[in-house]
Amino acid sequence: MSEWHNYSSREELDRALAEHIAQRLREDIDRHGSASLAVSGGNTPKNMFALLSRCELDWSRVWLTLVDERWVPPADKDSNERLVRENLLQQAASRAHFVSLKSEHNSATLGLAEVTARLADLPLPFSAVILGMGGDGHTASWFPLASNLAQLLDRDNPELLGASDPVTAPHQRITLTLAAVLQSRDIAIHITGEDKRTVLEQAGDRDYPIAAILQQQHIPATIWWAP
């Protein structure tokens, strides 16, 4: 069973999670000389990103990428890369090495090879992966109605990335596979609100994609929640 970290406010949650991630990065820098972090988009992590960006550590030894990305230009308002550049790659964290999941190809499928090659620069396993979750139980871009969901959630999939058509949300996506996310020393699920808590608590019974993280025993996932 995943361990819950419950906080009375989002501000308290953001501070605690930012420090937790910073400590994971520091530990890997000390032990291995480098660290890597994969983060998710959306509104939930914005303030946490700002706090993390000011944490003291050797950011020049940190490689940062996204868990998933919408196939839109990096300047687009829906771009996760834009969100990360504006909120996390600031302050001390501006020295981190960012690996984009977007190429100039017309589709995520066509861009897979180029973007996968970029990930060779990342020191793996990840020091930490931060996941969010939608109200439909999706995490990363593992959407319930995606035609290739089974492939994305295959723990034996040799690919780090896959393309995804969410069906129920706009934009084609590129996403880390479950196999890639499990190449991590720490997985944190970052959610807020009673509705998402209920979804997460029912995820296994309803076979939501997030259950693939909750039910695996390879890397214990922690859940970080506030109302």
**Helix, strand or coil, per DSSP, at residue 12:** helix
What CATH number corresponds to the domain at position 99?
A: 3.40.50.1360
Domain that holds residue 79: 3-226
Q: Beta strand 3-6 with 173-176: parallel, antiparallel or unpaired?
A: unpaired
* pLDDT in single tens digits along all 227 residues of the chain: 689 999 999 999 999 999 999 999 999 999 999 999 999 999 999 999 999 999 999 999 999 999 999 999 999 999 999 999 999 999 999 999 999 999 999 999 999 999 999 999 899 999 999 999 999 999 999 999 999 999 999 999 999 999 999 999 999 999 999 999 999 999 999 999 999 999 999 998 888 999 999 999 889 899 999 99
Q: List C-alpha distances in Å: 165 to 55, 85, 130.
A: 36, 25, 22
Alpha helix (H) ranges present in the chain? 10-32, 46-53, 80-87, 108-118, 149-152, 178-181, 194-201, 203-206, 211-214
Domain tally, the chain = 1
Against a cut of 0.95, is the pTM above it? yes
Element (H, E) at 188: strand 187-192
- Would you say 93 and 53 are in contact if contact means Cβ atoms under 8 Å apart? yes
